[in-house]
C-alpha cells in the first residue's frame, strides 16, 4: 500500500531534550516536506527536500533540522525543543511538478513541557 509513515504518533518531552520524528514513503517520490499545524494558522512549511542530499528552508525553519540521505526517508530533528514547538506535525511527499498532489502521513502530536 502506498503510504507515508510517521513515527511516533504522540510524543511528550521536556525542554532541551533532543528528539527525532521519522518519516518514510514508499512511492519513490522525489519531493518531501514537513509542516506544522496550529489552530487558526493552517499548515506552515518547516523544511522541504527536492531530492537526496537537497534540502531547503520553508517558512518556519527555526529550531528544526532535517536530512535526506536516502530517497525514502526525511527525518525531522529538534535539537533543543522548546514549548513553542508544541504542535501537530505532518510529513508529506510527492513527485515534483505543479500537478502532483501531496501525500500526507497521519501526523505526530508533540508536546514540549
Partner 1 sequence: GDSVTQMEGPVTLSEEAFLTINCTYTATGYPSLFWYVQYPGEGLQLLLKATKADDKGSNKGFEATYRKETTSFHLEKGSVQVSDSAVYFCALRDNNDMRFGAGTRLTVKP
The residues in 47-66 that bind partner 1, with binding defined as CB under 8 A, are 48, 50
Beta bridge partners of 66: 76
Minimal distance, residue 33 CB to partner 1, in Å: 7
List the one residue from 25, 31, 36, 76 that touches partner 1 (CB under 8 A): 31
Closest to partner 1 by CB, 12 vs 80, is 12
Which residues, numbered 92-111, are part of the site for partner 1 (CB under 8 A)? 92, 96-107
| DSSP of 24-87 | EESS--SEEEEEEEETTTEEEEEEEEEETTEEEE-S--TT-EE--SSSSB--EEESS--GGG-E
By the rule CB under 8 A, 24 interacts with partner 1: no
Q: In what order do the strands lie in the sheet with 4-7?
A: 4-7, 19-25, 76-78, 65-66
Residue ranges that bind partner 1, judged by CB under 8 A? 4, 31, 33, 35, 40-43, 45, 48, 50, 90, 92, 96-107
Amino acid at each position: 500500500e502506498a503510504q507515508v509513515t510517521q513515527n511516533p504518533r504522540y510524543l511528550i518531552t521536556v525542554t532541551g531534550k533532543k528528539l527525532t520524528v521519522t518519516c518514510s514513503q514508499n512511492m519513490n517520490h522525489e519531493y518531501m516536506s514537513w509542516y506544522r499545524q496550529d489552530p487558526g494558522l493552517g499548515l506552515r512549511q518547516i523544511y522541504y527536500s527536492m531530492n537526496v542530499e537537497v534540502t531547503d528552508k520553508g517558512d518556519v525553519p527555526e529550531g528544526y533540522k532535517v536530512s535526506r540521505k536516502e530517497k525514502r526517508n526525511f527525518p525531522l530533528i529538534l535539537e533543543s525543543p522548546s514549548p513553542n514547538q508544541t504542535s501537530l506535525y505532518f510529513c508529506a511527499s510527492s513527485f515534483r511538478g505543479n500537478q502532483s498532489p501531496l501525500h500526507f502521513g497521519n501526523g505526530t502530536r508533540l508536546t514540549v513541557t
